[in-house]
Structure 1
């Protein structure tokens, strides 16, 4: 458990920063957003982790057989495997959504 006196911001933001730092070790740049006691780590197309300070959650890319609802996975914020699993999902998504080619010429010109 994280001691509240050591936190800068909410437990969700602290956990999101931890995930961000761990993903950085995998060479993955992310954006962290917070509000309403929840933090979001935006990683890639269709990969957004929700953090409540206790658990990381993100879409697995799969749907349930019957209801066709999205299936999510969850890891506690103290589980070091979470960043590794997010990084694996990131690699899967990159194969299906490659980065757009760089702009040619003046990027500000329409």
Structure 2
């Protein structure tokens, strides 16, 4: 049976945000699918953001389901996307967690 990464990634984001939050879910999944992790890391490094856990090559290269789920959990806890029309590295802003308040603010824009 083929493993459905997208469904699990969306499910993990729902768990992290603790509520349905379509804007953040969609843009976060889009950014992960459309950008190489190295580009995301390079953007975070240039901003001087916290990303030390990403220096481990195994986490970056391992494509097992558990590692991918952990990876998206870490990503979703590190930053939110600030501009709904732009999912490039410049639109990624570091933050500790995506919480309900951030989701509500994003949905109001």
TM-score (norm 1): 0.37
Going by fraction, where is helix more abundant, 1 or 2?
A: 2
The structure having more radius of gyration, on CA atoms, is 1
Which one has more relative contact order, counting CA pairs under 8 Å at least 6 apart? 2
Going by fraction, where is strand more abundant, 1 or 2?
A: 1
TM-score (norm 2): 0.37
